[in-house]
Each structure stands twice: as C-alpha cells, then as structure tokens.
Chains A and B, each alone.
Chain A
Amino acid sequence: MNKPHINIDSFWLPRQSSTLAEKVDFGYYAAYWTGIVFFLLITGATVYLVLKYRRRTEKDKTSPIAHNTALEVTWSLIPLVILIWLFFVGLRSYVYASVAPAESYEIKVTGEMYLWTFIYPDGTAVVNELAVPKGRPVKLIMSSKDVLHSLYIPEFRVKQDVVPGLYTTIWFNATNAGDTALLCTEYCGSGHSDMLATVKVLEESDFEKWIEQQSGPSDLPPEELGKLLYAKKSCATCHSVDGSPMQGPTFKGIFGRNEEFSDGSRVAVDENYIRESILNPQAKVVKGFPAVMPTFRGLLKDREIDALIAYLKTVK
C-alpha cells in the first residue's frame, strides 16, 4: 500500500494548502511568540535569581517582603488581556472553518473500520482517495458506520470527528494542486493507523476527467482491472499478496485454499465464497481473524467483483 505524504515546508507546520491554513497558522504563531516571550521571562528570571541569591552562609538574611499588590495585579491583568486577545484570534479562524459557503461542492464521506468512502454527487463512490477541485469550496458531509473516527487533513488544517448516528461537516478551499495525506485521528481499533487516504487536489478540468474515469477503464483485461481494484478499493490495507498476515488473511494462494471458519466449518475457496465475502463479510469469518471487514455492497459493480475474482486466481 502506498502511504500518502504530508508536504512540510516550514520549521513547524505543514504547507498551507487551503484558505483556512493561513488563518489557523496566524493563531499558532500568535500563541507561539507569546509563549516564547513568557518562557524567556520566567526562565530568565529564574536562572538569574538562582545564581544571584545562592546561599552563602547559614545565617543569610532573606527578604521579608510577602507580597506586592500592585505587582500582583499587574501580572494578573496583562496576561488576562493577552489571553482574551488569543481567544478571539482562535475564535476567528474557527468561525471561518465552521461556516461553509453556500455554493460548496458537496461530497458525502463514510468512515468505517478501516477505510474511507467518498461519494460524489453523481453517485461515484471512491475508497481511500479524495479528489477535489482546486480553488473551489468543498464541503464534506460525514458519518460513521461503526465507531468514532476523525477526518484530518494536516495541509488543510481541518479536523472533525466522524460519529455514528450523526452528520458532521467540514469545508475547505484547496489552494495547491498535488497530493496530500488524509488521516484518521480518533482511535478506532487495530487498523486505526492504516486508515489513511490520499487527497488529490486537481485543476478544475482534471477534476472533471477524474470523475469520468472512476467507472474504471473498460478496456483492461479482468486480471489487470482486479489488480487495480485491489489497490484502489483498499483491499491492500488488510490483505497481503505476499503471505504475511495482516488484519485479514493473505490473498497469496487463496483460490482453492481450504479455509477453516470461526464456527469450525470449512470450505474450499471458490468464486461464490469470494463474492459472499465481499458483499457479506461477516457470514464466514476465517478462524483467528477479527470480524471487522466492512461490506463493499454498492461500492463494487458486478464486473468489478468478477475482475477481483479473476485477479485473486492469479495470486499464488
């Protein structure tokens, strides 16, 4: 599986790839410089005082001054004013992030253990790849099929929990064409850190082309299409083709293999079993593996399932 990449072009933060990013970063650096100044004041004073007032004799006379109201009021009020300013700085970018423009392009997002599905207005469903047009506001309407997840795109500075039984939304306006990472940031189980997607920011014309291509190139032989789908539909997140055990059983030599299930029954893997496992994965769970695979019903057409079966026959 190809892992996505976060572009980092400053000492602290990822590249600013959305209109929100610079507003968030302004707040980050406001807190940062405030922090640096106070840190230097406090540690500077501490080091200076410790050196200056080192104990010289056991009879050292120490200061009897117990407090100083003017000083104490000052050092309470100045930080208070700064903190309230920082609160408003934080609030400003938050309000910007919370209110999506009315003309936003809407994409429906589903999170489940452990993959992301993005459904476009024309019904196209894509797994673990979010293509968005550059320079156009995009609104994600998100929900979870199982446990809590959280959708995070560091270069866009957006993050929002994805909750079962609730729609949450975020929006962004991407400013840099290219790929970046989308990560799950709410712990969701053993595959949490594999629940990644690639965000592809495309120029408007490329975006239209990309949408059209999603139905899959029709001229590929079935084995080739199956291999492509294995990668694109995130089968690779949980099933290896080299024999190594992951979340699910390996595909190496799967066709014809005699599998034992958690209820003790056995079957030799054939076309029907593979089809059933894709559409109704909990029906027969291979012994020793957790029953966590999501269904791909609605995400794969019959032609694509046939292609996957054809591909699996070649994985030996």
Chain B
Amino acid sequence: MSQTATVDHVVAPDSGKGAVDYIRNGKGIVSWLTTIDHKRIGLMYLGSVVLAFLVGGLFALAVRLELLTPSRTIMSAAGYNQAYTLHGAVMVFLFIIPSIPASLGNFLIPIMVGAKDVAFPKLNLFSLYIFWIGALITLSSLVLGGIDTGWTFYVPYSSRVSTTAVVNVTLGAFIMGFSSILTGLNFIVTMHKLRAPGMSWYRMPLLCWALYATSLVQIVATPVLGITLLLLIFERAFQIGIFDPALGGDPVLFQHFFWFYSHPAVYIMILPGFGIISELIAVHSRRKVFGYKAIAFSSVAIALIGFLVWGHHMFVSGQSELAGTIFSFLTFIVAIPSGIKVFNWTSTLWGGSIKLDTPMLYALVFLILFTIGGLTGVFLGMLGVDLHLHDTYFVVAHFHYVMVGGTAVAFFGGLFHWWPKMTGKMYSEKGGAVSAILVFIGFNMTFFTQFFLGSRGMPRRYYNYLDQFQPLHAFSTVGSWVLGAGFALGIVTLLVSLKNGKQAPANPWGGLSLEWQTASPPITENFESTPVVTHGAYDYPLAQGQKEHA
C-alpha cells in the first residue's frame, strides 16, 4: 500500500473542488496569448503544428496528384518544384521538428516530473512567439513567389539561380531555430532542477529521457543550421563567396554544414517518437518496460553518435572516398541503439496485458513501419549500394517510413493517448481505430511502392518521368488518398470529441506515471500539492491492483 499512498492524495479525478482546471482558468483570447502555463502553451503549439501538418499534407497530395501521369497532370514544372519544396520545408521546420517536443513535450514534461511548470515559463511563451514569427515569415513565401530549391537549399542553385523567395524561407527557418534552442534549454533545466521529491532519473518516464536527448541535439546542432542559413542569405543578397564556386566558394562545403545540422535533426525528429512509443507500449500492456536503462541510454547514444554520420548524405557528392568510408562505418554503428529499442519494445509485449486501444494500434503501426524504415536504411548506408539508390525514390520511401511511419504515427498515437488528459474528453474508439488502420494501409500503398520505383532507377524530384514508371506512380498516388483519409479521420475524431465526448476519468488507461495521478484536464499548477514519488513510471506488478482503473 505504501507504494501508492504518497501519490493517492494528489489523485483528484473530477473533484470539481479546489483549483479550477487549466482550460477554464482564464477566459478570452488574451488570457491564452499572455499565459505562461506550459499546458496552454503546449496546446497552442499543438494547434499550430497540426495546422502546419494540414498545409504540408495538402502540398503532398498535390505532388502525388501531379505524378499520376508522366507529364503535366495539373500543374507546371515550376509549380511542381514549389509544391514539393514547400511540402518538405513545411513538414520539416513547421511540423515534425516542433511537433512532439513543443506540443506534447511542453504539456507533459513538467507534469511527468512532478513540477508546477517548466523552469522558465516566460521564456517558454517567448519561444512560442518566436516560432510563430518564423513560421509566418516562412509561409510569407507562399504569396511572395514561393520557393523551388528543395528543402535542402543546395547551392549554387539557391544562392544564384533561383528567382523565388529563398530568403523568406531560410530566414524563417533561422528564426524558428531559436525557438527550438530555447525550448530544448527549458526542458533540460526543468528535468535537472524541478523533479519532485523521490523522482530519481531512473523513475522518469522514458518520454522524458527521449526529450532530454532531443533537447541536447537541439541546443548543440541548431546553431550550425542558423549560421549556414545566414551565410546563404548573405551570399544571395551581397554576393560574398562562401559556397558558390563562381564567387570562389565551395558548394560541397554547404552540404557539410547543412547535414551537420540536418542529420542530427533527423534524431530531433525521431527520438521524441521513440519516447512516445515506450509510453504507449508499456501503459497499454500494463507491463514494466523491458530494458528501461537500455532504452534510456540508447536515446542518449543515438543523440551523440548521430552527430558523426552527416556525411552519409554525401557519398556521391564529391567528398573524399576515405570520408565516405568512415561515415558509412559510423552509420552502421548508430543502427545498433535503434535496433536495441525495437527489440526492447517487442519484449515488453511479452507477459503483458495488452489492450488494442487506439494509441496501442498506432504504436503497433509504428513498430512495423519504423522497422521497415530502419532496415531499408541499411541499404543506403552501404557505400556501393548507395551509388545506385542515392537520390532515387528508394530514399524518399526510406525517410518517409522513418519520418511519417515513425514520427508522425507516434505523434498521432501520443495525441490519442494523452488527449483525454489534455482536454478531459474521451474520443470515439471506433473512429480512432479506423484511422490507425487506414493510415497503415494507405501509408504502405503510397510508400512501399516507392521502394520499387527507386530500386528500378526512378530519381526523386522529377516532374516528368519515364513512361515505364507510370503504373507504380499511379498506385502510389491512390495510396496517398487513403493515407490522407486516415489522418483526416484521426483529426476529425479528436475534434468531434470536444463537443460530444464523454468526460474523461483521471486515469483512463491505468498509467502509473504522474500525469495520470492528477485530474483530466489538470489544474493550473498540475497538482494540489507537490507529489512525493516512491516508484518508477512502469512498476506495474507492484502498483497494479492497488489503483482504481476507471
């Protein structure tokens, strides 16, 4: 009994007494725009990134529709190049990078460690405003000539040739970088300084470990992107020669700078997804996580080794063969900690009590898709094989398996998992389950097809393509409609619950971490009084049966 006695007094499901919940605490738009409550800020991030996801998704559907036929279908070559560039830039900078950390992370980290808020609440609000400003500057390109460089902004095309609004997009990404850095800083300090009594490092939920590792990468890598984009802007505006060989610069140098950030950024995108999956699998199996420390430290290992593999994006760029060889070897090493995680998640199912709630369905979708994404990465890490596959649809398929099948699916799983906590509403399980299944089917139709395209020699970023590829392209396009319907149904299911959903109990899934020990939705300061923690986040056999699961 003593296991949970200390947290029982903070369980205040539906108490209605005492402090009012964070949503009703303050009315009107001004109370939201001036809030320093991490939960409200997280919710505003959530709205922003979901909006960005919809914008990026519409571009994706347009790109796929254009590729239905080998020549013009609905738009010009210039229009197509803008559509895929904006799809990439919006999805990377406005959706995936901020998605899990800034929305769910902001909402959950302080509660999970038993704090009232993040360490620097005003800085947190400031980060949101920086994000909004950067996002608006990026999106201003939509009406100021678009952008057609690809989200990678490779020089000298971006610095000299393109006549589109390159400066707006890069400046926007530069500004959003500060939001990323400051949010990372806030999370790290919060986890170091604001853990509740008894919340040792190894009792923290694995989402916290994952976001800690993410924050490290955000702080260390993002400044490099900032400097690189600034140099690009200078070169474009003032013709100083950094990257353009016509001005005495080096275009391969740009790629080194760019990937020095953007490869670690891949881990900024996927590590939070890992964290969510650890939560979903443990809680919906009600089982102690298998290999807690292995999962926790593999996140940190990935964050560190991830800094040393950027050159695997450049095997055919003109970098030296020796550099390519070293980068290839390190790439294989970084595969190990990701593999360890997958094995641990699968083992956590063993001896569990598994219920296929919507979040668990999304977690299983993640497990399958991420496994394919990881295993196809092995092809690309092999030097000789990459000669054939580099910059083909094989690469497109691979990173969508990781970024969409991994991160976006984890984000949706997490959204369904914590939605009752964030809003106090239960959603339709049927709607959630159907959306997960549609996403799984549509995703594989869209992207598994692209492994064939790439292996057979179809280059990426092609507006016109060889007629022989049309059947596969057409199938992929049809898949994109199913995938789009799946995600749309997920979002609609959640939104409908706001109006029609039943009141959520404090702990609908039987979770043991602290966010489930406070009301749904939580009160402004998260807990009636500071919780005292006496067990780990997943001590299931110990705590099980001692708690009332609603």
Contact = CB atoms under 8 A, between A and B. Distances in A.
A90 to B, nearest CB: 3
- The listed residue with most B CB atoms (<10 A of its CB), out of A56, A64, A113, A191, is A64
Nearest to A54: B354
A91 B349 CA distance: 38
A157 B455 CA distance: 10
A147 B329 contact: no
Contact of B459 (A97, A165, A183): A183
A31 interface: yes
A75 B340 CA distance: 7
Chain B: interface size category: 35 or more
Interface in A151-174: 152, 154-155, 157-161, 163-166, 168
8 contacts: A6-B456, A42-B371, A66-B290, A83-B335, A87-B382, A97-B387, A157-B388, A163-B318
Given A46-B367, A63-B541, A14 B352 contact: no
Interface string A29-50: 0011011001100110110011
B375 A35 contact: yes
B343 interface: yes
Interface in A1-40: 3-6, 8, 12-14, 23-24, 27-28, 31-32, 34-35, 38-39
Interface stretch (B48-56, B110-118, B154-162, B479-487): B154-162
A188 B161 CA distance: 9
A301 to B, nearest CB: 29
Interface in B526-547: 540-542, 544-545
Interface in B311-370: 316-318, 321, 324-325, 328-329, 332-333, 335-336, 339-340, 342-344, 346-347, 349-356, 364, 367-368
A35 B372 CA distance: 8
B525 interface: no
Interface in B442-462: 452, 455-457, 459-462
A168 B318 contact: yes
Nearest to A63: B351
B107 interface: no
A122 B549 CA distance: 84
Contacts of B384: 23-24, 27, 89-94, 96-97
Interface of B: 76-78, 81, 148-150, 154, 156-157, 160-163, 245-246, 250-252, 285-294, 316-318, 321, 324-325, 328-329, 332-333, 335-336, 339-340, 342-344, 346-347, 349-356, 364, 367-368, 371-372, 375-376, 378-379, 381-388, 390-392, 452, 455-457, 459-468, 510, 540-542, 544-545, 549
Contacts, number: 284
Contacts of A86: 332, 378, 381-382
Given A39-B371, A181-B466, 17 more contacts: A6-B466, A13-B456, A43-B367, A43-B368, A45-B346, A45-B349, A55-B355, A62-B351, A62-B352, A66-B289, A71-B347, A83-B335, A86-B378, A86-B382, A87-B381, A96-B384, A161-B318
A191 B251 CA distance: 21
Contact of A188 (B157, B324, B387): B157
Contacts of B76: 190
Contact of B382 (A27, A53, A157, A163): A27
A90 B381 contact: yes
A213 interface: no
A28 B459 contact: no
Given A12-B452, A53-B285, A76-B336, A193 B463 contact: yes
Contacts of B245: 163-166
Contacts of B163: 290
B318 A90 contact: no
A31 B378 CA distance: 7
Contact of B388 (A4, A60, A159): A159
Nearest to A151: B316
Contact of A58 (B381, B392, B549): B549
B67 to A, nearest CB: 11
B77 A193 contact: yes
Contact of A164 (B246, B294, B452): B246
Given A50-B349, A65-B351, A93-B383, A148 B161 contact: no
Contacts of B459: 152, 183-185, 193
A79 B375 CA distance: 11
A260 interface: no
A175 B66 CA distance: 36
A97 B383 CA distance: 10
Given A58-B549, A79-B336, A193 B464 contact: yes
Contacts of A157: 387-388
B251 A148 contact: yes
A6 B250 CA distance: 34
A27 B332 CA distance: 14
Contacts of A163: 245, 251-252, 317-318
A146 interface: yes
A158 to B, nearest CB: 6
Given A91-B384, A185-B390, A59 B545 contact: yes
Contacts of B288: 62-66
A88 to B, nearest CB: 9
B328 A91 contact: yes
A189 to B, nearest CB: 6
A76 B467 CA distance: 45
Given A63-B352, A97-B384, A187-B150, A14 B321 contact: no
A80 B251 CA distance: 35
Nearest to A32: B379
B457 A183 contact: yes
B78 A94 contact: no
Contacts of A53: 285, 349-354
Contact of B386 (A4, A58, A90): A90
Contacts of A63: 287-288, 350-352, 541
A27 B385 contact: yes
A192 interface: yes
Contact of B318 (A71, A166, A191): A166
A31 B394 CA distance: 14
B466 A3 contact: yes
Contacts of A191: 77
